[in-house]
Structure 1
Amino acid sequence: MIGIVGAGAFGTALAVALARGGREVRLWARDPAQVRAMQDTRRNEAALPGVDLPGAVSVHQEIAEVVGGQALLLAVPMQALGALLDQWPQIDARQPLVACCKGVDLTTLRGPVAVIEGRRSGAQAAILTGPSFAADIAKGLPTALTLAATDGAATDGVALQELLSTPTLRLYRTGDVIGAELGGALKNVVAIAAGTVIGAGLGDSARAALMTRGYAEMVRLATALGARAETLAGLSGFGDLVLTCTSSQSRNFRFGHALGRAEGFDPRVTVEGVATARAVVALAQGLGIDMPVTAMVDALASGRTSLKDAIGQLMSRPLKQE
């Protein structure tokens, strides 16, 4: 049995994919009304409309009913992960704990695996990340992801890779947790910037330049923290960056697009890149690392600068060698 905590779009899509791959899946949702609706209709219309839950997926309100299996996937927003672990002591180290979120914790300035390990001593922690839209996974479209667990850790990455792979969901394994975490976190920040460029009508050439310079920032910060540059060139970095910077399915891109058009954005939609930008600015300042794109996104999202001023600041930076 595989447990999944969090019945949003991504958690539900993973449940569907794994069940189709022959796994028994128990899915936990916080809202009792949502649990009842999913049990009755066998759908999660609010998060993933039009997708039927396979018979191997059961939906639960009690978190004790989804723990203790072969693995527990934590499909909650990054900024909610620590609070979830604090609230539910039933989530323990009896099984591998796999983070399915992207970002940097605002309180600790650490990634999902470090947050899990900090709250569960001896945890078998890992992260599942990479270029993926929930709708594609749920439809059974071919998707490849990165599964990262620290080399030499208690987590058996090979066994997890086999457990969570299906005919349509292909997992690649890495021991570079920091690289995988930061690739998934920072690409959301760059996606906001890319959406802003397109929303403001600055064109595809500007987006390409922005993506390239944003990728340079991703590599710069990640390697300073001990990541391998080649990890950022893989699925969890470059692959995810391309996907989220070029598709309106990305919430971060859509948020940036609204910023560029000076339009409002639905506050109920989780936009991980906003909090990540704020956390990364603090992290980079502490390390003395220059991250102008990230700083621009943070200033724009918080309303501390205008789009015109942000563009002017980026374009007037000193000329230098690439």
Structure 2
Amino acid sequence: MKIAIIGSGSWGTALGNVLAQNGHDALIWGKSLDEVVDIQQYHLNETYFPGVKLCEDLRATPTYNDILDADIFLLAIPSIAIESVCQELDKHLDRPVIIINVAKGFHPVTHEYLMEVIERSISNDHLSAVVSLIGPSHAEEVVLNQLTTVNAVSSNEDAARTVQEIFSNDFFRVYRNDDVVGAQIGVAVKNVMALASGIASGLGYGDNTRAALITRGLAEITRYGLYFGGRMDTFLGLCGVGDLVVTATSQHSRNFQAGYDVGVNGSTSHFFDTNIKTVEGVAATKVVYEVAKEKGIDMPITEQVYKVFYEGKDPRQAIVDLMNRELKHETK
């Protein structure tokens, strides 16, 4: 089976490496010629994984036409690029294909889930199914074959099973999940909580604070997700608490790192002046805050993160204001 990976960044490379190790024809298309040459000729991607040797069967190309005969297309690109990339891909397809999405977020303008963006950006006669491959995972560990479990999320059971089968092996295990709404909300909103966790750590707060933020953050994710029809078991699974824990505690997490930078420097100025990475939680914070406010969903952590990143609020004051909210019962 030929799988085309659009994007030669960390996730595209790590997941392409898994597919190549599993014996599939995995071909990465990338815009960066340096990354493509590094993968194709030297079996490395020094930009993201210095010194890590990739599977020799993993291939890469800078030529778009080389990937168009693939059976499956995996989008390893930032959420903001999904719409335009899918619209361009649609122009070249002549048959239905499975699209795999690995981004976690929302459309920044329409607030759509990413699977919805894909479904409206590719015509029906070119789209067999959309599957999101999401869950608690860092590319830096997957590329080293460290044990990882994720979900193949889709309303199409056959497509989810196909994705499950092509990726699963001794170190990378995939579970199926058909809660499309809940899973996408879980993995997107957890990025907001990871920003909060990073801020608290950057301010010097310790394990007690982080545990509180993760626990109350899960309450917010669940409250938001249930409102839109997600299932409780999803928020207690890999796309809920699993992804929240790994993103809100790990130095590999770009969202945690971004929050940490804000906490250490006491404002967002340094982060916005120096950051060159895609930090999905920043855009997600705006979407979740605006939607929650419109719908009347109580999201106190999200609100404070929004005020820090979009209104210039002092992060230390944001923590104080969270602690001084009206006292209440934990489960109400």
Pick the TM interval, shorter chain.
over 0.9
Which 10-residue stretch deviates more, 44-53 or 220-229?
A: 44-53
- Partners in 1 of 2:79 and 2:95 — Cα distance? 19
CA deviations on 1:246-279 (whole Å, 9 max, x unpaired) are: 1111111111111111173441111110001011
**Distance change (3 Å), C-alpha of 1:247 and 1:91:** farther
Q: Would the aligned equivalents of 2:4 and 2:67 in 1 still touch at CA under 8 Å?
A: yes
**Distance change (3 Å), C-alpha of 1:36 and 1:252:** same
Q: Which amino acid aligns with 1:282?
A: E
The corresponding residue for 2:298 is: 290
Determine which of 238, 245, 248 is the counterpart of 1:245.
248
Determine which of 107, 121, 130 is the counterpart of 2:135.
130
- Partners in 1 of 2:57 and 2:97 — Cα distance? 20
SS at 2:151 equivalent: strand
- Partners in 2 of 1:281 and 1:49 — Cα distance? 37
Q: Would the aligned equivalents of 1:99 and 1:113 in 2 still touch at CA under 8 Å?
A: yes
The corresponding residue for 1:24 is: 25
Determine which of 299, 302, 305 is the counterpart of 2:310.
302
Q: Which amino acid aligns with 1:288?
A: G
Output the TM-score relative to the length of structure 2. Answer: 0.91
Q: Would the aligned equivalents of 1:15 and 1:27 in 2 still touch at CA under 8 Å?
A: yes
Task: Give RMSD over aligned pairs.
Answer: 1.7
The corresponding residue for 1:259 is: 262
Shift of 1:303: 4.5
Determine which of 284, 287, 295 is the counterpart of 1:279.
287
List gaps (5 residues or longer) in structure 2.
none
Shift of 1:39: 2.7
The corresponding residue for 2:92 is: 90
Q: Would the aligned equivalents of 1:12 and 1:48 in 2 still touch at CA under 8 Å?
A: no
Q: Which amino acid aligns with 1:34?
A: E
Q: Would the aligned equivalents of 2:145 and 2:171 in 1 still touch at CA under 8 Å?
A: yes
SS at 2:265 equivalent: coil
The corresponding residue for 1:51 is: 52
Determine which of 169, 176, 181 is the counterpart of 2:172.
169
SS at 1:281 equivalent: helix
- Partners in 2 of 1:91 and 1:184 — Cα distance? 29
- Partners in 1 of 2:158 and 2:98 — Cα distance? 7
- Partners in 1 of 2:94 and 2:291 — Cα distance? 29
CA deviations on 1:178-223 (whole Å, 9 max, x unpaired) are: 1111111111110110111111012211111111111111001111
Aligned residues: 320
Which 10-residue stretch deviates more, 206-215 or 82-91?
A: 82-91
Q: Would the aligned equivalents of 1:26 and 1:66 in 2 still touch at CA under 8 Å?
A: yes
Determine which of 206, 210, 213 is the counterpart of 1:207.
210
The corresponding residue for 1:184 is: 187
Q: Would the aligned equivalents of 1:19 and 1:56 in 2 still touch at CA under 8 Å?
A: yes
Q: Would the aligned equivalents of 1:21 and 1:167 in 2 still touch at CA under 8 Å?
A: no
CA deviations on 1:33-80 (whole Å, 9 max, x unpaired) are: 432343333211112222223222110112232233232110101111
SS at 2:175 equivalent: strand
1:102-141 map, 5 Å: 102-122=104-124, 123=127, 124-141=129-146
Q: Would the aligned equivalents of 2:39 and 2:59 in 1 still touch at CA under 8 Å?
A: no
CA deviations on 1:114-161 (whole Å, 9 max, x unpaired) are: 1101111333111010111111111111110011001xx485222221
Shift of 1:282: 1.4
- Partners in 1 of 2:37 and 2:133 — Cα distance? 28
Is 1:218 the counterpart of 2:221? The answer is yes
Q: Which amino acid aligns with 1:2?
A: I
List gaps (5 residues or longer) in structure 1.
none
Q: Which amino acid aligns with 1:285?
A: K
Q: Which amino acid aligns with 2:62?
A: Q
**Distance change (3 Å), C-alpha of 1:80 and 1:194:** same
Higher helix share: 2
Which 10-residue stretch deviates more, 203-212 or 51-60?
A: 51-60
CA deviations on 1:73-100 (whole Å, 9 max, x unpaired) are: 1010111111222333336762210101
Q: Would the aligned equivalents of 1:103 and 1:181 in 2 still touch at CA under 8 Å?
A: yes
